[in-house]
Amino acid sequence: MSSARFAPLTRVLVFSWRTTLTSGIFHNSPRISVPTFASETVFTLLTYAFSISNLARAVVHSLGRYESERGISDTERKAKDERLTFAVTLLSKAAGVYEYVGKECLAEWERERSRVVSVGMSCPRPPDLSREVVIGLSKMALADAQNLAIRKLLSKAAFESTVSPGPPLPKSHPSPALVAKLHLECASLYSSARSLVKTPGASKSSSKHRMKLSFGKDRSHQDTGPEETGEEAAPELRRYLADEIALHNALAHKWLGVDAGEHGGTSEGGVAVGFLAWAKKELEELRGGSSSGGVMDNEREKEMRERRRARVQDELESTNTFLVGYKRMNDTMSFQPVPPQAELQAMIPAGLLAVNVKPYTKPTPAFGPGSVEYVRRQAEELEPLNAESEADGHSSSQTAPNSTSKSYAGSEAYY
């Protein structure tokens, strides 16, 4: 019974999953069959990370734009700030899961895939099983977490600015230079994520070219070979990342202009106007581009686009208010020239990261190797061996002086 119970598997197990990141015309996730336990582990952890990210977004959506509500009390605002902190924690945790999958699990999957492909089995490679895409998801989740951290940092000042918008800033407002650096880091993370997500798509055109060359021929070897790349990531993901890059770059320029206007003195009046005019132009372009959507967009995507358009409109109004105020001051008091965009670009500092990835650790197995019971049994089996080795060591230490006392010729031979 024991031999049959622990007999090695004679065939490779195949698991069925629906891909999440594959682009489709009708937004239906295709179901694929992937062999090996490594594939099952990867898809399970990815589903866990997707669930955490969706929970964070559901928490944020339930809060609404509470910081702009004039009737909200300080206690209610702090309670919603705590909920926002919870969402930041969830996204940092999801970033850790993505990072673990990309750096640890997919390396094992690549080895298993090479093994099954060598025996002629088909093993597809959707975007969900691409290391670059998964690492890009980790950076995107971390950028989303930093975006929410910025919102929490500005919640009190945003409430006070609703009552009296524009310059000067309220005393509770954090440093505009700090806010700008946080937005710059967000833009950098989103940019890295977009570059990584676009990486698998580069091989799609070459894959199509190979298929055209082999049209009418037997392509069974290509379908199961190591070059099998699958499809590129969904365009909605790439569009989201591109919009976030543009938005956070514009917001960074806005707060750099506000910092120059608030703390730069009269000598920085032109710099303030230049950065704010730059931000206004970018936000207007983003507002015009955010209104366009695909014909096949579903209700969720339309709702996300409406929320984005509302946020861009709010930021555009705020930027225009600061621009009008600082431009009036520069035209009547400072009389400083507005630097060109190239000079402003050279003044942009490096970004600043405010949140960290929460590393994912594997859970302790409930049974088998690595479980608490397994370790306890191993320790119990080693106890008799340790006792015997201690007894042997004790007996050898007692006989050691006798052996050393007879180390010369004629020892104890007294007549």
Name the residue ranges covered by the structural domains of the chain: 11-156+171-204+226-346
Distance, in Å, from the CA atom of 257 to the CA atom of 315, rounded to the nearest integer, reads 14
Q: What stretches in the chain show pLDDT beneath 70? A: 1-10, 23-28, 200-231, 290-298, 385-415
Distance, in Å, from the CA atom of 352 to the CA atom of 137, rounded to the nearest integer, reads 20
Q: What percent of the chain is helix, strand and coil (3-state, nearest 5)?
A: 70, 5, 30
The angle subtended at Cα 276 by Cα 270 and Cα 279, nearest 5°, is 140
**Strand 14-18 relative to strand 31-35: parallel, antiparallel, unpaired?**
antiparallel
pLDDT value for 217? 41
CA dihedral 210, 198, 229, 132 (to 10 degrees): 140
- Peptide bond before residue 226 is cis, with ω within 30 degrees of 0: no
3-state secondary structure at position 273: helix
Report how many helices (DSSP H) and strands (DSSP E) the chain contains, helices first: 14, 2
pLDDT value for 7? 44
The pTM of the full predicted model, rounded to 2 decimals, is 0.82
pLDDT value for 394? 58
Cβ atoms of 186 and 150 closer than 8 Å: yes
Distance, in Å, from the CA atom of 189 to the CA atom of 34, rounded to the nearest integer, reads 31
pLDDT value for 208? 43
pLDDT value for 272? 96
pLDDT value for 161? 85
pLDDT value for 384? 73
Q: Which of 380, 402, 400, 382 is nearest to 390 (CA)?
A: 382
Check the CA dihedral 177-179-185-187 and report its sign.
negative
Distance, in Å, from the CA atom of 177 to the CA atom of 349, rounded to the nearest integer, reads 9
DSSP 299-350: HHHHHHHHHHHHHHHHHHHHHHHHHHHHHHHIIIII-PPPPPHHHHHHT---
pLDDT value for 58? 95
Cβ atoms of 299 and 266 closer than 8 Å: no
pLDDT value for 139? 98
The domain defined by 11-156+171-204+226-346 folds into 1.25.40
pLDDT value for 81? 95
3-state secondary structure at position 31: strand
Cβ atoms of 33 and 16 closer than 8 Å: yes
Q: Which of 319, 312, 78 is nearest to 176 (CA)?
A: 319
pLDDT value for 55? 97
Cβ atoms of 59 and 83 closer than 8 Å: yes
User: Please, which residues have CB within 8 angstroms of residue 355's CB and are 6 or more apart in sequence?
Assistant: 88, 92, 142, 145, 146, 149
| Angle, helices 299-329/235-263, rounded to nearest 10 degrees | 20
